[in-house]
Structure 1
Amino acid sequence: MFDATEVKGFSKLNDADKELFKRFCKRFYDAWEYPKEHAPVKIQRVKDYLKVTLKDGMWLHITKNCEWY
């Protein structure tokens, strides 16, 4: 099972961002047939969104509404 707290940068987030990232991970993993291929490896706060870098090299913006693009 994926543990969001193990992602690089998680410990540097404030409490609200930690909760947002955990919610994102739940929704993100539910969206993929093979989620381990796209696992988050790094998370950081950038201006008004969270930036998550994935195992496959892609990265996503996570908005305050737990949407991503």
Structure 2
Amino acid sequence: RDDSSQVILQSTDGNSTQPTLWVNENNSGRVVYNALGHDFVSVSHLTHQQLIKRSAMWACRATDFEVEAITLSQ
């Protein structure tokens, strides 16, 4: 992650705060980093599934309307 990244979520463990979800955008593309968990339990949650789908749509430069539709359709 570099200084131009936008932190979306942070996690705190004791006195340490770490980025949990961040995005970065430049002329050549978009990046989404998600450290919320990648096991069956974490991706079984509907909210996490929506976040993954919306992140992928954003990274593919979908319109805001298309990204919003993912949440509304479920």
Question: Is the shorter-chain TM-score for this pair beyond 0.5, marking a shared fold?
Answer: no
What TM-score comes out, normalization by structure 2 length? 0.30
Which has the higher relative contact order, 1 or 2, with Cα contacts under 8 A spaced 6 or more apart? 1
Higher strand share: 2
